[in-house]
Amino acid sequence: MKKRSAGGKKMKQAKAALRDFALGFPGAREEFPWGERVIKVGKKVFVFLGMADGDELGLSVKLPESGPMALLLPFAQPTGYGLGKSGWVSAHFVASDDPPLGMLREWIEESYRAVAPRTMAAKLSSQVSAETPRRTAPRARRRNGKKSSRSTVRGR
């Protein structure tokens, strides 16, 4: 019997935590196409979680907003098979790594919102997750210093 290392146990716990988080979204379900664990909403995958066993953690998510920044991180790269061109980002961690679970949860939520039907994603709008506080962009100001209801200032 193979003895699991401490790092391997940590990765197994991280995989389980991310899987449980992803399955908590409305309409989310788990499938195993190609022997790989994926979480879908409707017929669309919103997170690839890789193979179920092993001492490594890998995931791929669609990041239309934070993708360019995510790709600056040392553990992230564009997803293969041409998915990277559509905003998919893959992250990979080995047993000795300490994966940033908070950030990975934010990525999974962003991916869900990008892939889920609007009716499903709208269910999240009324919920405020403790791990991912909502950020709103500051409102633009008019030339006279008053706040505008538009996101950009027109003029000149």
pLDDT band, very low/low/confident/very high, at 120 (cuts 50, 70, 90): confident
Asked whether the predicted pLDDT for residue 154 surpasses 60, the reply is no
Whether the per-residue pLDDT at 137 is higher than 50: the answer is: no
pLDDT tens readout for residues 26-83: 999 999 988 889 999 999 999 999 876 678 899 999 999 999 999 999 999 999 988 8
Domains of the chain: residue spans and CATH: 6-125 (3.90.1150.30)
pLDDT for res 131: 44
Q: Residue 101 pLDDT more than 70?
A: yes
Q: Cα–Cα distance between 112 and 132 in angstroms, integer?
A: 13
